[in-house]
Structure 1
Amino acid sequence: MKKFKIRVRQVNIDQIDDRLLIINLYFTQCITLITAFVILLFQRRYAWNLLDLPESLQFLWWGALFAAAVVTADLLISKLVPEELTDDGGINEKLFAKRPLWHILLICMVVAVCEELLFRGAIQHVWGPYWTSILFAAIHIRYLRHWLLTGLVFGISYGLGWIYDETGTLWTPIAAHFFIDFVMGCFIRFGGNKGEEQSS
């Protein structure tokens, strides 16, 4: 019988072309969505019930305020701490730096819906916000090399769980997640690319 060996090696972000990066992004979000549906099915709960739009638009205010706090904290941290403590390996830069605005919008919406459905909608229902946030931080593997980024991701996730519990609608953390990613993506896209600054 033939033995199969699986080799795992670290890949530099410069070795990944844009097409492969986008395919990988949408593939992982598809896996996230399927996982959410499977977990919800075992819980005898349904995604479409969780995604019912609330009658009031108050969830948008909660999401926007939470996102504003996160973006403000992120901007302060990027000004106050050395760059090597907040380096994500260049993934976000590569993902957003040359992306058209409509695609940034689409990416942020897909990620927000898929990840919040899984983490807040399915996992938090059983594990609560604390353990869900530990798992959420752990899957953002590119941040694990830096304690500050890991702590930030945990804190953001816990905050998303808290606003979900407070408002009772999954659309609150979805809105917050979307606003955070979209604003940060636009900062990267329109605020200047570090790589371009170094090369010019």
Structure 2
Amino acid sequence: MKKFDIRKIKLKTLRIDEIDDRMLLINLYATQAITFVIGFIWLLFQSRNPFYLFKPGDTPDFAYWGFGLAAAVIAVDMLAARFVPEEANDDGGVNDRIFRNRPVWHIAVLSLIVAICEETLFRGAVQYHIGPYWTSIIFAAIHVRYLRHWIPTGLVFCISYALGWIYIKTGTLLAPILAHFIIDLVMGLVIRFRREA
């Protein structure tokens, strides 16, 4: 029997156009599942009830905060798209590959899954330990496709901080999940229908 030699493992960097659509979706769903599981387990280790974080509260304030933040982010993003050169907003074509040929229902499903999984981990678990500032730095860093340009990296940091702030303000993960969902959905639809024009 051959011995396993870790030195023989070679990692290969792939460009987004070298990954087929099926593998892209598998990667996306797998990373979101891992994100959710880590967040859920982390919450249990914090002796916090994960389901309690999703309670809406006595008033619909979380919806106002979620919709309001999403509207502000979309407005800023549209302004940035108008005045900032396209190459400064380049994410390597990842968002284009994810959204450009998807049906609307699939864009909505992807946006909802990403919002629930990422907010559970980052706002629910990580922010509890290190606060919204450091959580936002980590959140921006994991969105590595934006790190080549300071404008999208700065926007991701600011959006993350705002998501953390509305979570603190409302006391429910539903507010940042709603905002994250709307932002991703609208941006996905913009990419989807811009390509058809």
Instruction: Give TM class, smaller chain.
Output: over 0.9
1:168 is aligned to 171
Q: Which TM-score applies when normalising by structure 1? A: 0.93
* SS of alignment partner, residue 47 of structure 1: coil
Q: Which segments of 5 or more consecutive residues in structure 2 lack a partner in the other structure? A: none
Q: What secondary structure sits across from 2:178 in the alignment?
A: helix
Give the structure-2-normalised TM-score. 0.94
Query: What is the letter of the counterpart of residue 188 of structure 1?
Result: I
1:73 corresponds in structure 2 to 76
Partner of 2:51, secondary structure, is helix
**After the TM superposition, which residues 1-200 of structure 1 pair with which residues of structure 2 at under 5 Å, given as runs?**
1-4=3-6, 5-192=8-195
Identity %: 55
CA RMSD of aligned residues (A): 1.3
Runs (4 or more) in structure 1 with deviation over 4 Å come to: none
Q: Distance in 2 between matches of 1:2 and 1:39?
A: 32
The residue identity in structure 2 corresponding to 1:54 is: G
Change (3 A) 1:6 1:152: farther
The answer to whether the 8 Å contact 2:139/2:157 transfers is yes
5+ residue gaps, structure 1: none
Alpha-carbon deviations, 1:77-103, whole Å to 9, x = none? 111111111000111111011101111
- Paired with 1:143 and 1:161, the residues of 2 have a C-alpha distance of 20
CA displacement at 1:111 relative to structure 2: 0.5
